[in-house]
Amino acid sequence: MENTRRFCVRVAECRWILPLLFAAGLAFCVIAESGGLLNSYTRFALTTMAVNVILCASLNLVNGYLGEFSVGHAGFMALGAYASAMLTTRLFPQMPALFIPALLAGGLVAAGIGFLLALLSFKTRGDYLAIITLAFLMIVKSALENIPWVGGPRGIAGIPTLTTLPVAFVAAAATLWTIRNLIFSKFGRAVVAIREDEIAANAMGVRTREAKILAFSVSSFFGGVAGALLAHQITFINPGSFDIIKSTEILVMVYLGGIGSLAGSVLGAVIFTLLSEALREFGTWRMVILPLILVLLMLFRPRGIMGLKELPWFLPRRELATRRKKS
């Protein structure tokens, strides 16, 4: 028993497992994409899983680390999806090499609006800010429906299929890496301090406005990138794809995997995607079972599976050393 425990600790604290998993994952994705190792449905599902990891980790920044409750993440996805799709279909079609700039552009457009939302969060917190994010989502959706230039209610069709499995995998890894490096720095600790106690954070010299701007901007940036990836995966987007149900799905992932945890974000996105695909044949019942999971979760484990805990793999070496309990 003691040996098993010690073995688990050693595995959890092993520094090269995560880089190894990344290399193996990337190799697998490349082979699967080119070699016909997997059928197209499985490839599609795995790509969705990677995009969900980005969505979940980025929403976790606001809902988990900052401790706010945003229901507007689908709005940022929409902004990223539309901005990038406009670039790849209208501005420079037939140029797949410009996909990465298009992804970044999608992220930046979303981050710009996320920045504005952060300004509102200075004065408003909790329930009231949640309502503002809901309003933001509705504004984005109806704005897109009413701008003929971006296709109105019919949306944009014929988007090139550029989101392949390796692209989505690398994007997910890059997201996790970025968020991890920000969280384990003075910037991330300031964000977490606001969640724990905003008044105390202020009294300790934490510049709360800057920290909120950072959390909202980075979160919406990756929300936008995920939207851009999704647009180039399903090749057709309309305002209806980015509604409150989409936001709810991301919320389920965050609260299932665990708030304030990168490992939780990955876990939440993976479990959600698997469940969601497994329940596909149940049709409408899917949207009964998934919310039901959320209800049960709130009752029995409100912070999620990994709530506020981190797998040592994701901790920088320095942080790991300070967290070892002296025994």
Interacting residues toward another protein by CB under 8 A: 178, 181-182, 185-187, 189-190, 192-193, 196-197, 199-208, 214, 260, 308, 316, 318, 322-326
| 6: amino acid identity, one letter | R
CB of 321 to another protein, least distance (A): 8
Is the Cβ–Cβ distance between 67 and 307 less than 8 Å? no
Asked if residues 304 and 255 have their Cβ atoms less than 8 Å apart, the reply is yes
Are 53 and 270 within 8 A, CB to CB?
yes
Q: Of 293 and 311, which CB lies nearer to another protein in the complex structure?
A: 311
Contact 80, 265 (CB under 8 A): no
Contact 128, 94 (CB under 8 A): no
The residue type of 1 is M
Min dist. Cβ of residue 222 to another protein (A): 13
Residue tagged 């977490």 (tokens): 192
Nearer to another protein, 2 or 196 (CB): 196
Find the shortest distance in angstroms from Cβ 211 to another protein: 10
Instruction: For another protein, give the closer residue by CB, 208 or 248.
Output: 208
Core vs surface per residue 266-288: b (16+ CB within 10 A) or e? bbbbbbbbebbbeeeeeeeebee
* The two three-digit tokens of residue 327, written as one number: 């025994």
Report in angstroms how near the CB of residue 67 gets to another protein at its nearest.
10
Structure tokens at 33: 């994409």
Whole-number minimum distance, CB 307 to another protein, in Å? 9
Residue 295 vs 321, nearer CB to another protein: 321
Q: Which is nearer to another protein, 199 or 295 (CB)?
A: 199
Q: With respect to another protein, which residue has the nearer C-beta, 286 or 301?
A: 301
